[in-house]
Amino acid sequence: MGKVRVRFAPSPTGALHIGGVRTCLYNYLFARQNGGELVFRIEDTDSSRFVPGAEEYIKESLEWLGIKFDEGVSYGGNYGPYRQSERRDIYRRYVKQLLDSGHAYIAFDTAAELEAKRNEIKNFQYDASTRMQMRNSLTLPADEVKKMVDSGEKYVVRALIEPNQEIIVHDIIRGDVHVNSSIIDDKVLYKSADDLPTYHLANIVDDHLMEITHVIRGEEWLPSAPLHVLLYQFFGWEDTMPRFAHLSLLLKPDGNGKLSKRDGDRLGFPVFPLEWHDPKTGDKSSGYRESGYLPEAVINFLALLGWNPGNDQELMTMDDLINLFRLDKCSKAGAKFDYEKGKWFNKEYIQKADERLLAEMMIKDAKEAGVEADLAKAIQVVHYMKSRVSLVRELWPLCTFFWVAPETFNEKDVAKRWKPETHGMMTELRSKVAEWQDYSDLEGFEAYVKEWCAEKEYGLGNVMNPFRLMLVGELKGPAMFELTSILGREETLRRMDYALSQLS
Ligand code: GLU
């Protein structure tokens, strides 16, 4: 076999579902590990389902995730154009070839006529059993067909499927899938109304012309595969037919059935990589990026939905995945979408992430909340606080107090920790810590305060808890002297003074 060439071929009908991202990822891993190429093709022949912005959204999502294409829409290459709506001339030739060879025919039946047939015949299917009752080039005289076509009457071109033939789809994941051709209807391959082929024809013509060697796609396309195999036969392209691999579905986290956007809404997790604003409905759907996920975590999590390396290794970089991934080891059974596991991955990746990058993300959230947070301090804060979050977006709410001094003090904490003698002790502590200069010397400062406690015979808890309460407003935050090192001398004293004026 020559060079491996695979493609990701979404239709721009809306946001890219997380299952589509996994499909693209598996294509990418397979291409990379075989030194092959990944093509980005846009399948936009169904103009009625076209959604503006969807193509850009898909591209931006995959870029964010670090999935790189070698050629295709907006990347260029020798097999273009890669947007199907720009390939009309090419498809026209192949439609003609099928008509000339008798593997397809022209049909004029209107929507109303088809509807009438459906009412007349139970389980109507346009196929060998019914096609001779319809208005098509098999039943009408040739000169009449020509006249109708020439006069601009709308028609479609249908595949002529011979009944009772065995079709075998060789699938890398599922093995040989046998299908009887009688269950397939004479699928529409081309519509004169918009001078475009349907998905089936465009898909296989392009896979052939773009020299695609492996078709890795979602299970929902398995029912189309027998027709695709037949089309390869019709064209005489059996020798270069790509190998198929139909990936199992992503399933609901709870219960059965395919993961849907509604599950995400219901259980509170995104099903799209990026936030999506539906231009038709105006609805806004959350995305992994905006919810505070790191792309590396999303990749790692998705890779393991439907495949595993055969041991219990879980944390894998893109390079690890490229080495370890095996298409033939993908599971046939659907994979439950374990959202909590996704969060776990993200937490792991946050601990490994560049602190400056995390700080920059937190600064953005601060800005949205109207606070200008400076980078140096944000990096310090992230360093001490990152172990407490699963999502980057949790950082700002957790860390706001580093920038915004408390104005009020948690009543419960005060009731518990602010005793009659506390005000006096804290006033003493205030003058004691004012004498200390180097707040960045965490250990030195801590030893200094503890020594004073020992000297005074003050219990550590009786000092540290109110001390924290004064600086944070409640009993939370990092270790005490990490806290003071970030706040610095001036701010620590300022907060103490304010607290002493408020708490008696
Ligand atoms: N355009 C199809 C989709 O939206 C592609 C199916 C395939 O990969 O053959 O998923």
Q: How does pLDDT run across 421-450, given as a tens digit for each residue?
A: 999 999 999 999 999 999 999 999 999 999
Ligand 1 touching residue 216 (CB < 6 A): no
pLDDT in tens, 247-301: 999 999 987 899 999 999 899 999 999 999 999 899 999 999 999 999 999 999 9
Q: What is the rounded average pLDDT of the residues 383-389? A: 97
Q: Is 217 helix (H, G, I), strand (E, B) or coil?
A: strand
Task: Give the DSSP letter of residue 474.
Answer: S
* 468 Cβ inside 6 Å of ligand 1: no
Closest CA to 23 of 250, 226, 185: 250
CA of 9 to the centre of ligand 1 (A): 5
| Residue whose pair of structure tokens reads 């590990």 in the numeric block | 33
Which pLDDT score is estimated for 20? 97
What confidence score (pLDDT) does residue 192 get? 96
Name residue 100's amino acid: D
Average pLDDT of the chain to the nearest whole number: 96
Confidence of residue 330 (pLDDT cuts 50, 70, 90): very high
pLDDT tens-digit readout, 15-42: 999 999 999 999 999 999 999 999 999 9
Q: Alpha-carbon distance 441 to 447, whole Å?
A: 10
Give distance in angstroms: CA of 232 to centre of ligand 1.
17
Given the CA of residue 10, which atom of ligand 1 is nearest to it? 4
Q: Of these residues, 258, 261, 341, 364, which one is catalytic?
A: 261
pLDDT for the residue 434:
96
Distance 104 CA to ligand 1 centre (A): 23
Q: Which atom of ligand 1 is nearest to the CA of 11?
A: 4
48-63 pLDDT, tens digit per residue, is: 899 999 999 999 999 9
Could you confirm whether 261 is annotated as catalytic?
Answer: yes
pLDDT (0 to 100) of residue 388: 96
Residue 37 has what pLDDT? Answer: 98
pLDDT tens track for 105-151: 999 999 999 999 999 999 999 999 999 999 999 999 999 999 999 99
Residue 11 Cα to ligand 1 middle (Å) = 7
Q: Please name the residue whose Cα sits nearest to atom 10 of ligand 1.
A: 10
**What pLDDT does 255 receive?**
77
* Mean pLDDT in residue range 345-355: 98
Pocket test for ligand 1, best of 11, 21, 244 (most atoms within 8 A of CB): 11
- Identify the pLDDT of residue 1: 61
Query: How many whole angstroms from 424 Cα to the centroid of ligand 1?
Result: 72
Rounded to the nearest angstrom, the distance between the alpha carbon of 10 and the centre of ligand 1 is 5
CA distance 476 to 473: 8
What pTM did the predictor assign? 0.93
Q: In ligand 1, which atom is closest to the CA atom of 203?
A: 9
Amino acid at 409: F
DSSP codes, 263-300: HHHHHT--SBSS-EE-TTT--EE-BTTTTT--HHHHHH
Q: What is the pLDDT of residue 256?
A: 84
Q: Which atom of ligand 1 is nearest to the CA of 217?
A: 8
What pLDDT band is residue 355 in, cutting at 50, 70 and 90?
A: very high
Q: Answer yes or no: is the C-beta of 306 below 6 A from any ligand 1 atom.
A: no
Q: How far is the CA of 217 from the centre of ligand 1 (A)?
A: 7
5 lines ligand 1 (CB under 6 A): no
Residue nearest to atom 2 of ligand 1 (CA): 10
8 CA closest ligand 1 atom index: 8
Question: Does any ligand 1 atom lie closer than 6 A to the CB of residue 11?
Answer: yes
- For ligand 1, say whether the CB of 221 is within 6 Å of any of its atoms: yes
Q: What is the DSSP letter of 409?
A: -
Long-range contacts of 354-358 (CB under 8 A, 24+ apart): 355/379, 355/382, 355/383, 355/386, 358/382, 358/386, 358/392, 358/395
206 lines ligand 1 (CB under 6 A): no
Q: Please, are residues 24 and 294 in contact by the beta-carbon 8 Å criterion?
A: no
C-beta of 84 in contact with ligand 1 (< 6 A)? no
Find the mean pLDDT for residues 70-79: 97
* Ligand 1 neighbourhood includes 242 CB (under 6 angstroms): no
pLDDT band at 504 (very low <50, low <70, confident <90, very high): confident
Measure 205 CA to ligand 1 centroid, in angstroms.
13
Distance CA 163, CA 182 (A): 4
Instruction: Among 55, 199, 205, name the best residue to mutate to test ligand 1's pocket (greatest count of ligand atoms within 8 A of Cβ).
Output: 199
Please report the pLDDT score of residue 2 as a whole number. Answer: 83
227 lines ligand 1 (CB under 6 A): no
